Chain A
Amino acid sequence: MSERVSIQYDMAVVRGFAISALVWGAVGMLVGLLAALQLAFPDLNLPPYLQFGRIRPIHTNAVIFGFTLGVVFAGSYYGVQRLCRVRMFSDSLSRINLWGWNAIIVAAAVTLLLGKSTSKEYAELEWPIDIAIAVVWVVYAINFFGTVARRREKGMYVAIWFWIATILTIAMLHIFNSMALPVSWWKSYSAYAGIHDANIQWWYGHNAVGFLLTTPILGLMYYFLPKQIDRPIFSHRLSIVHFWSLIFIYMWAGPHHLIYSPLPDWAQTFGTAFSVMLILPSWGGMVNGLLTMRGAWDRVRTDPLLKMFAVGITFYGMSTFEGPMMAVKSVNSLSHFTNWTIGHVHSGALGWVALTCFASLYYMIPRLWHTQLYSVRLAEAHFWVATIGLVLYVTSMWISGVTQGLMWRAVNPDGSLTYTFIETVAAIRVYDIIRVCGGALYLSGVVLMFINVWKTIQQGSSAVPEAGPALTPAPVGGGK
């Protein structure tokens, strides 16, 4: 532990991903706000290109692959070098990763706007881009594993486990779900038909949530939360138990997206059962995160980063309780196809994923430019508008979803349906408008972050050599 080494970390790739993630986050959320507006005010659809059907996938792709994955790349490049006390395996691969990935996101935005879509959710991109994604992902994998293999630290810290699981799983999901036979450069037909296509798509879709929006974010939590709070993770044993159980159980839960579909009943039952089981490993992560903060809760009052972690982890706990509940058949019969699903996704995405990503960026950016954060008060304001916005968003979608579900199934005493479909559309309009307000607040928080980051970068400099004797890597293990 006491060997004296001088390591020049490669922080250029981290700076690149931090900035690109912020830009894609702002773009993706702006497009999301437009989509929300279009649902409430259909005249805001501007055909042919700017209409809901085309921009909704741009929203999801930009926030998942541009923003979230950008922060994951930044955070894992930042963390893995320090946890391994070695520079990245290859600077060239890092650059290919950075520029290749951002080129993919640009290509995604353009092709989706032009309607080049496979229609499979979160896998809408056509086959040439799919191949590019696979190549860049392999570049990332080689770079990451190469770094881990050359580490100066004996053990791999828990954050690295979660990033390893992410790399393996996403590669597998992406390759198998994207199998298609091309007709032309921008048109292909899925290798699977009907119920088999649905089955593999939701194996992909659910586990994209698991391994793009959960495991790598847990990696960020496990690295940046102990760093920010300056104390070890609550329990190493809990890390072990919840890591292995989470990655094993997650992979079985996909069929909960196909409950009451023609998918064989036994598969649907697996989906429900494993979804319910998922509560425990998910809450293992939540408990480990929250209890890491034990004894330091007073600092939450003054530190906006810790506020973001605390609320983010709490939303992780809430949405991982809600998800299993919605996977129970009787609840799913009400919630499926309604806005409840949208509320659930955003409680995880705006609450857990984005707040954790913001906190990680706020941690990294001053250090990447060798300065202090320009304004803690601005970050504090960001936290509050984001939290209020997300609560408005999530609660309005819950009410909207339950309203829809109940109206769809309502029958008169003589057995006929009580409501026409359009009556259910009209009934939820007010919630669509509240959702717009929530989303706008959330986006305004990102604008505050932009200003803060801009000023921080201006007062700092990237030129200072990234020297790091790294004498105190994040503590491995702690209390038992």
Chain B
Amino acid sequence: MKKFTAIVYARTMEFLRDKGTFYWNLLFPIVLVVGFSFAFNGNNDTIFKIGVIGESTLGEEAFLNLPSIEQISYDSDKQLPLEKIRRHQIDMLIDFNDGTYYLNNESNSSGLLRIVGEKDLAGFQEKELSGSPIRYVDWLVPGVIGMNMLFSCMFGVGFVIVRYRKNGVLKRMKATPVSPIVFISAQMVSRFIIVILTSILVFTGTNLFLHFMVHGSYLLLVLVTSLSIVCMISFGLIFAARLKSEELTSGLMNLVTFPMIIFSGVFFSLEGTPRLMQQASKFFPLTHFIEASRAIMIDGAGIVQILPNILVLSGMTLVFLITASVLFKWE
């Protein structure tokens, strides 16, 4: 245990005192979140989005066919479009099957649409919903934190161990009575502490002025984050098991992290992408972290709803750790 804490301490100090890396880990995600929140702050309300269920009984001249209105068709299950109204993702839902239309009384567009549609929708029953909007930034923040975690876990453990192997630190360790398990797990714990603290810091820091939507439990959010960090570190260890060249490691890590970032839904939703891509994304730990944390934050999901993500992350961690330990060599 003494050996273990000594290595954790040394590695953590190494990180904290390497000011460049330290600030990069902290500032990069903050800059990204804040930057995106400004970039996508523009109102998309110039065009109204109206959800439609069933065949339209309105004439050609009806307001629905105005050029500034986009129609989106939904099937008869109202749950999804109603949730979209609550989140301000669509402005109105008209159900022609039962002659009802829905508006969100917290949305600026409601009053206007009520007036515009008054004539055409005479005889329809109006129902009011309420709910505050999901901004892009609410949706983005788990993605950016996840991406930062992925980089920090992969490069902070995997890459560093390859560097240790190349420059002889590992060889020096091999000459002491320290076992590889103790050494590697100490590296993992050090990085875990660093990544969880950075993630919390980034979240609370940006939350101060962006006020994210968190409907679920913070504790569950921390649990999912912790599990994902362990999973990502374990993934990085596979690269660290044998490789000797820093260049090759960095290349391979970029080769796998970039597709993960693009296809895990960090910046855009995977809804509407090809099925194959959606299925492939299920193999990435990042996807499960993002899915679970968005579900907790935006939909207020509990442990039951995100259990599939938790199980997959745990399974992946186990597979990664076993693979890495089978492959590992000091030199």
Do A and B share a complex?
no
Q: Give the B-binding residues of A (Cβ under 8 A).
A: none
